[in-house]
Amino acid sequence: MSSPGLRIGLFGGAFDPVHVGHQRVAESFLNSNLIDELHLLPTPHPPHKNLNSSASFEHRYEMLRLAFADYGQVLISDVEYKLPEPSYSLQTIEYLQKKNPGHIYFLCIGEDNLESFHKWYEYEKILEKVTLLVASRPGSTSRNQQRDILEKAIFVDHEELEISSTEIRSEEQLQKVRDIVPESVARYIEEHNLYQKS
């Protein structure tokens, strides 16, 4: 459990599966020195409908735990799994702020997500409650975003790795993904026969 009065970054996603790109962006958020801890929040139900191309929450949580086992400032959280559906960022933020009023929370997103942030559920209320930490992305047009969003955004230096979880899930041979997922995660995928085509 976190100590009181911490600056905590919240970084959500499907993580289906977690890969080295997720590790790098986590490192960029931590290296900003704007947060003390980074909490990773896997979504309860990833958007993929094909069960053969998606891992359960339990598997995704365990892969995150393996991938970040050596990261002392990273915590894997199942808070969104426990909250009522649908899983909105605002609901998560409000729950955590009420539960831990001594902490300061930041919402950590990639610059690609900032481009569509005005479409998020109750995005204005999110901006009232947290500051956005945004991992920069070359060529992004997010700097053209509306003023109320940019005023609550802090851009974090980040060298992006072009890796797609979708491509990892579609690989025929696990050997091809061993360079882009942590070794412990590759072993887990193999042991549990995840993402195998029927």
Domain borders along the chain are 7-191
pLDDT tens track for 20-29: 999 999 999 9
Query: Is the predicted pLDDT of residue 63 greater than 80, yes or no?
Result: yes
What local confidence, expressed as pLDDT, does residue 163 receive?
66
CA trace torsion 59, 176, 168, 156 (10° rounding): 100
Nearest to 107 by CA among 49, 149, 157: 149
Strand partners, 156: 135
What local confidence, expressed as pLDDT, does residue 1 receive?
46
Query: Structure pTM?
Result: 0.89
pLDDT tens track for 132-183: 999 987 666 666 678 899 999 999 988 776 666 666 666 555 556 677 899 9
Query: Is the predicted pLDDT of residue 48 greater than 60, yes or no?
Result: no
- Mean predicted lDDT score pLDDT of the chain: 87
Handedness of CA 82, 124, 7, 16 (dihedral sign): positive
What local confidence, expressed as pLDDT, does residue 136 receive?
85
Q: What is the mean pLDDT of residues 24-52?
A: 85
What local confidence, expressed as pLDDT, does residue 180 receive?
86
What local confidence, expressed as pLDDT, does residue 36 receive?
98
Fold of 7-191: Rossmann fold (3.40.50)
What are the b/e assignments for 84-120, b being 16+ CB within 10 Å?
eeebbbbbbbeebeeebeebbbbbbbbbebbbebeeb
What local confidence, expressed as pLDDT, does residue 103 receive?
97
Query: Is the predicted pLDDT of residue 31 greater than 90, yes or no?
Result: yes
